Amino acid sequence: MFNMRKFRKSKRKSGLGTADEKKHNDFTIASLSRVHTQGLKSRFQFVTSLTCWLFYWTRFPDPHVKDERLAVFSLCTSLNGYIMLFSAFVNLVQLSQADDVVFDNCFVNDIAKYVQFAITCPLLSWQVSLLARSKRQRQVETVLNTFLMLVMGVWTNSTPEFQLRMMGFGLTFFFFILLMINLDWAIRETTDNRESFFKGTSHLRYICLTVGITWVTFPVTWLLGPVGIRAIPAAAETVVITVMDLTSKIAFSAYVYYVRFKWSAALKQEAQEQEEAEKEGKADEFKRHRKRKMSFVTGNQLAEMKQLSNLEEGGGATTRTAVGKSPSRTALSPSMRAAPTYPAQFEQAPNQTSAPPIVIANCFDVNALGQLLQGQTPAVFNGGGAGAGATASPQNLMATVNRDYYPAEVPDEGEAFRP
């Protein structure tokens, strides 16, 4: 281990006193001190990242889960575990000098950490679009903005010219703004403009805020550091980057794991309630009226239930029919149609009996045509198949109309998350 006190004492005894030698000695001391600091930082990151990977690896869920939303959370948990593992081994590369770039102010920059950012951060932003159940275009835009931002960051940190570094920083920050806009649109599209970066209580908004708040510290610290305008020393920049790198990854992965844990508990409780309903003989009623109070990700379910109740209260004598889905398939459309008025010929008193209809097989059925002309009873033309005449009866016609106007009940809350 490097001992700074012994090094300075030996230099005093050697009698080196010229200005150039003193400057060289100061640079040597600073370089050795930086190597010592970088070694401690890399070892700390390696141990912490490896511990986080071990935690997630021992809790990797079964990918063959029935609930689609739980499967998405399981995928995100697995991705976060391997992100931590990759980050741990990249810190071993930083201990070597293979990734070092020396600038004009004698600052040695490690490019490996920025390459690590360019690989892991797009996976983190992709998880946000997965949890939001965004459209394919939004997922591609989010990942592409993150990747281009960090590729520009790698080029910026490899460029020795200060003017080119500032130009690269501007382009990188531009892609960062585009990324934040895409995350905001992901929240708005998933919640049907009820929430955004600046309002809302859903877990999706909190996840996006975690990404935005922890990631914004990187460009600010870089600009103030020795590679930028040199407002803070290299040691402070190294400490801030290291802490925020671990904080951003651990905070994001831990929050996703927390939501997954809560969702698993909710599904377990729901299974117990369904089992109790089956014992009491109310399984069909439980399945028909099964509604969760609030989605753990988007919070759409609470708004949908309020919207349905408002429609039913304001509808008066109208009958609630099929409620259309909005184009984003994340919120119920406020449309409402009254039940159709059927002709009087289809209405029948409870005690009234009707004569069985005469089935006319074809136009050459003389007996059936004769009864029809005498007005004895209504007739029904047979389409040729078995039981085809009964399909045109008033009762079956009413059932057909009811089936068209009253389809299956409103889908479960999981429908809002399917692409």
Task: Tell me the CATH number at 49.
Answer: 1.20.1070.10
- Strand partners for 358: 379
138, 227: one domain: yes
Residue 377 lies in a domain: no
Upper half-sphere CA count for residue 128 (Cβ side, 13 Å): 29
Tokens representing 300? 């759409």
Cα–Cα distances in angstroms (integers) from residue 50 to residues 53, 83, 99, 180, in the given order:
5, 10, 21, 29
Domain total of the chain:
2
pLDDT of residue 76: 86
Residue closest to 173 by CA, chosen among 156, 161, 159, 185: 156
Residue 281 lies in a domain: no
306, 253: one domain: no
237, 137: one domain: yes
Residue 282 lies in a domain: no
82, 229: one domain: yes
Question: In which domain, by residue range, is 12 found?
Answer: 4-271
Distance from C-alpha of 2 to C-alpha of 25, rounded to nearest angstrom: 15
251, 322: one domain: no
113, 235: one domain: yes
Tokens representing 262? 């809560």
Distant-in-sequence, close-in-space partners of 273: CB < 8 Å, separation ≥ 6: 286
* DSSP run (H or E) holding 106: none
| Structure-derived torsion over alpha carbons of residues 95, 101, 104, 108, reported in degrees to the nearest 10 | -10
Q: Which of 271, 300, 317 is the last residue of a domain?
A: 271
251, 205: one domain: yes
Residue 89 lies in a domain: yes
**Amino acid symbol at 18:** T
Residue 279 lies in a domain: no
Residue closest to 334 by CA, chosen among 309, 316, 318, 311: 311
182, 297: one domain: no
User: Is there a contact between 168 and 159 (Cβ–Cβ < 8 Å)?
Assistant: yes
Residue 331 lies in a domain: yes
171, 315: one domain: no
- At 143, is the secondary structure helix, strand, or coil? helix
User: Is there a contact between 179 and 125 (Cβ–Cβ < 8 Å)?
Assistant: yes
Please report, in angstroms and rounded to a whole number, the separation of the first and last CA atoms in the chain: 56
Count the neighbouring beta carbons within 10 Å of the beta carbon of residue 339: 14
Q: Which of 242, 271, 300 is the last residue of a domain?
A: 271
125-152: burial string, b at 16+ Cβ within 10 Å, e else:
bbbbbbbbbbeeebbebbbbbbbbbbbb
Residue 285 lies in a domain: no
226, 326: one domain: no
Distant-in-sequence, close-in-space partners of 266: CB < 8 Å, separation ≥ 6: 292, 296
For helices 203-224 and 112-131, the axis angle rounded to 10 degrees is 160
187, 304: one domain: no
109-122: burial string, b at 16+ Cβ within 10 Å, e else:
bbbbbbbbbbebbb
9, 79: one domain: yes
pLDDT of residue 167: 93
DSSP letter string, 213-246: HHHHHHHHHHHHSTTTT--S-HHHHHHHHHHHHH
Residue 225 lies in a domain: yes
Residue/partner pairs of 177-180 with CB below 8 Å, 24 or more apart:
178/145, 179/125, 179/142, 179/145, 179/146, 179/149, 180/212
For the whole model, what pTM was predicted? 0.58
User: Is there a contact between 195 and 187 (Cβ–Cβ < 8 Å)?
Assistant: yes
Distance from C-alpha of 323 to C-alpha of 166, rounded to nearest angstrom: 54
Ramachandran bin of 15, using left for φ above 0, alpha for ψ from -120 to 50, beta for the remaining angles:
left
User: Is there a contact between 91 and 238 (Cβ–Cβ < 8 Å)?
Assistant: no
Q: Residue-wise pLDDT tens for the chain (419 aa)?
A: 445 555 455 555 454 445 555 555 555 555 545 555 556 666 666 677 777 777 777 766 666 666 677 778 888 888 888 888 888 888 777 766 666 777 666 667 778 888 889 999 999 999 998 888 888 889 999 999 999 999 999 999 888 888 999 999 999 999 999 999 999 999 998 888 899 999 888 888 999 999 999 999 999 999 998 888 888 887 788 788 888 888 888 889 888 888 888 877 777 777 777 777 777 776 666 665 555 444 445 555 555 555 555 555 554 444 333 333 333 444 444 444 444 444 444 444 455 555 555 444 444 455 655 665 565 555 444 444 444 444 444 444 444 444 444 344 433 433 333 33
* DSSP run (H or E) holding 247: helix 234-279
pLDDT of residue 339: 44
